[in-house]
Structure 1
Amino acid sequence: MSYVGPDSQPPRPPRRFSGGPLTVTLAALVPTCLAGWLIYEATSGPGGSEPPRTLPSTSQSAQGSVSAVPSPSKPEKDDKGDEDDKGKGEEADAKPSTTKPPKSSSRPAASGPLKGKVVVVDPGHNLGNGKHTAEINRLVNVGTHRKECDTTGTSTNNGYSEAQFTLDVSRRLRTLLEKQGATVKFTQDGDPPWGPCVDERARIGNDAHADAVVSVHADGSAAGNRGFHVILPASVKSGDADTSKIVVPSRALGERIAGKFVSATGSAPSNYIGDGTGLDVRKDLGGLNLSTVPKVFIECGNMRDAKDEALVTSGAWRQKAAQGISDGIVSFLRG
């Protein structure tokens, strides 16, 4: 920008006056003014413009001017750090358990009455089954017939799912059994996106050479139907299914669990299945038909009944349920 001011205008030619002191004075001043003008022109740069001003440095501008633009700040975390935070959020959402141990726990077994014993816990269904209907509807061979790989399970009338319930109780059960010295393995711990299929669940127990397997469930019967029941394998020999060696020990396991479940929870045996015994024998469940080790299912209550719903949605009651199942397993394995 050019500087514009009164000193930038060239002097007008002097008027001629005749005679007198004023004329003499003006004649003396004219050369002086002209010399001053020439000096100004020589020192003010081309075109009479002002010498360029030097802008303050970035740091000075930031300190003394609100128009200063700060340099972009670096992100506080790199990509890896962000991923680590996502992992923490996922673990918080997976509560009540704060970690995701593998199916075969790497934690050393504690000393206790069950040291050396292997227990497989099978949390029924899977939280992701509903998003994988094509996969879980695939038919698999369960010995006596073919049936769906898995199902979504039931839920309470207020939306608490069986898969949530079974995983929570199973994790509580694992903690109790490990304190007794048992090695505990899961068929799924909320880690696979769906399943596994019922035949694979049976295979996991078989391959582990488990001393006992318990599949944790809750029922979805009509309102008014209340209580728990334990499902035992029937005598089956068809195709890949042969329960002849596990029927007797499985019944012993189921009876121990039923008795201890009453003591721990105060719940009564089912009023709609088992004729008041809390025991039910079935031959249509692939998880039982294909098992070669002692195995039972437990339906801890009826999620569709309001009174049972109040129980299964209570963390305190779920702890009692886990305690009852654990006590039954301990009693069975100790003889």
Structure 2
Amino acid sequence: MSYVGPDFDPPQPRRPRRGPLTVALAALVPGALLGWLVYDTVGGSGGGGGSDGATVRAATSAASSGAATPSSAAPSDDAKQPGSPSPTPTLAHPTSSAPVASGPLRGKVVVIDPGHNPGNFQHTAEINRKVNIGTNWKECDTTGTSTNAGYTEAQFTLDVSHRLKALLERQGATVKLTHDNGSPSWGPCVDGRARIGNDAHADAAISIHADGSAAGNRGFHVILPGAVHSGAADTRPIVARSASLGERVAGNFVRVTGEPASNYIGDGTGLVTRKDLGGLNLSTVPKVFIECGNMRDSKDAALLTSGAWRQKAAQGISEGIVSFLRSS
């Protein structure tokens, strides 16, 4: 905003000497005007008018407060390789917020599934219970993995999910989480996580994870649903749309974060198709998983424990989802 005030007024003819009251009032006017201008510039004009870059900077400033405090729990070493028990997000009491009044994603619904739950390790009997994922029976959920220093996957996934939720809501989307901040206290089970996205009629759903592979294995990969038609599972209607979502997420994730595609799975494409994950098998809406990096590799762990990098991860995922939704 341009400033027009006493300092920029043209010179005026000399006037008769003013009385004390007139002088006092004249001294107050510039200060009041300046105060109004500061208010108008900093906060008085309302939100929603900034550029995308300004929005991202604001989100980064608000959310990038460093790595979360490591949990004292000892999570299991879940490498989550194809063929081994692999945790899938669940859901019980989804959390959501109303979309902003306008934005390119107004009317769109996104479900974010933070992998695992920080409380899972206290409920091993519950999460070890088997549930039907269509192709077979698998554990309700797992505790997830962690860095060697103890920063857990469940902490990581919640943090990235919160950042992602904020970015998408700023563009007008309605965003739901499958669980949040200890509610429910464990899980939900993988079938429940899928059901949350289905019941929300989500336009896109994504499950946030980090891997627990061997040191030296690094990079991200996005998991796409394979064509499954067995029992309660039928992914055939969502396979193509999910592939489009996954490709856009992968492309934007590598561009924004600089994290390379996995060097140990996916043949360098950053894309993997699986048929053994209940969160994908039971989904009736376009859905993918993303393993943002390997928590057991020192280079990846340094990124995953950085608040600034987690903001980049959320931004890359967000841009992939936005690209997918705008192409719909």
Q: Counterpart in 1 of 2:285?
A: 293
Residue among 271, 274, 297 paired with 2:266: 274
Residue among 265, 285, 306 paired with 1:314: 306
Q: What secondary structure is seen at the aligned counterpart in 2 of 1:268?
A: coil
Q: Distance in 1 between matches of 2:314 and 2:101?
A: 19
Correspondence 1:198 to 2:178: no
Q: Distance in 2 between matches of 1:108 and 1:150?
A: 30
Residue among 187, 204, 219 paired with 1:212: 204
Residue among 86, 107, 116 paired with 2:107: 116
Contact 2:190–2:279 (Cα < 8 Å) also in 1: yes
Correspondence 1:329 to 2:310: no
Alpha-carbon distance change, 316 to 147 in structure 1, aligned in 2, over 3 angstroms: same
Deviations 1:136-164 (A, max 9, x none): 00000000000000000000000000000
Which AA in structure 2 matches 1:165? F
Which AA in structure 2 matches 1:118? V
Q: Counterpart in 2 of 1:152?
A: 143
| Identical positions, percent | 77
Q: Distance in 2 between matches of 1:222 and 1:281?
A: 21
Question: Map of 1:45-124 to 2, 5 A cutoff?
Answer: 103-124=94-115
Unaligned runs of 5+ in 2: 1-67, 70-92
* Structure (1 or 2) with the larger CA radius of gyration: 1
Unaligned runs of 5+ in 1: 1-94, 97-101
Q: What secondary structure is seen at the aligned counterpart in 2 of 1:308?
A: helix
Q: Distance in 2 between matches of 1:157 and 1:241?
A: 36
Q: Distance in 2 between matches of 1:160 and 1:110?
A: 37
C-alpha deviation, 1:108, in angstroms: 3.8
Deviations 1:264-310 (A, max 9, x none): 10111000010000000000000000000000000000000000000
Contact 2:235–2:284 (Cα < 8 Å) also in 1: yes
Q: Counterpart in 2 of 1:237?
A: 229
Q: Distance in 2 between matches of 1:218 and 1:319?
A: 15
Q: Distance in 1 between matches of 2:97 and 2:117?
A: 23
Please, what TM-score do these two structures have when normalized by structure 1?
Answer: 0.69
Q: What secondary structure is seen at the aligned counterpart in 1 of 2:296?
A: coil
Q: Distance in 2 between matches of 1:229 and 1:313?
A: 18
Q: Distance in 2 between matches of 1:147 and 1:157?
A: 27
Residue among 160, 171, 174 paired with 1:169: 160
Correspondence 1:180 to 2:136: no
Q: Counterpart in 2 of 1:304?
A: 296
Contact 1:110–1:182 (Cα < 8 Å) also in 2: no
Deviations 1:11-58 (A, max 9, x none): xxxxxxxxxxxxxxxxxxxxxxxxxxxxxxxxxxxxxxxxxxxxxxxx
C-alpha deviation, 1:111, in angstroms: 1.2
Which AA in structure 2 matches 1:194? W
Contact 1:110–1:180 (Cα < 8 Å) also in 2: no
Contact 2:95–2:180 (Cα < 8 Å) also in 1: no
Q: Distance in 1 between matches of 2:241 and 2:106?
A: 20
C-alpha deviation, 1:106, in angstroms: 3.6
Greater RCO (Cα-Cα under 8 Å, separation 6 or more): 2
C-alpha deviation, 1:179, in angstroms: 0.5
C-alpha deviation, 1:110, in angstroms: 3.8
Which AA in structure 2 matches 1:241? A
Q: Distance in 2 between matches of 1:105 and 1:289?
A: 24
Q: Counterpart in 2 of 1:62?
A: none
Contact 1:110–1:179 (Cα < 8 Å) also in 2: no
Contact 2:94–2:196 (Cα < 8 Å) also in 1: no
C-alpha deviation, 1:326, in angstroms: 0.1
Q: What secondary structure is seen at the aligned counterpart in 2 of 1:193?
A: coil
Q: Counterpart in 2 of 1:79?
A: none
Q: What secondary structure is seen at the aligned counterpart in 1 of 2:96?
A: coil
Alpha-carbon distance change, 156 to 237 in structure 1, aligned in 2, over 3 angstroms: same
Q: What secondary structure is seen at the aligned counterpart in 2 of 1:300?
A: strand
Q: What secondary structure is seen at the aligned counterpart in 1 of 2:112?
A: strand
Question: Map of 1:251-262 to 2, 5 A cutoff?
Answer: 251-262=243-254
Q: Which runs of 4+ in 1 moved over 4 A?
A: none
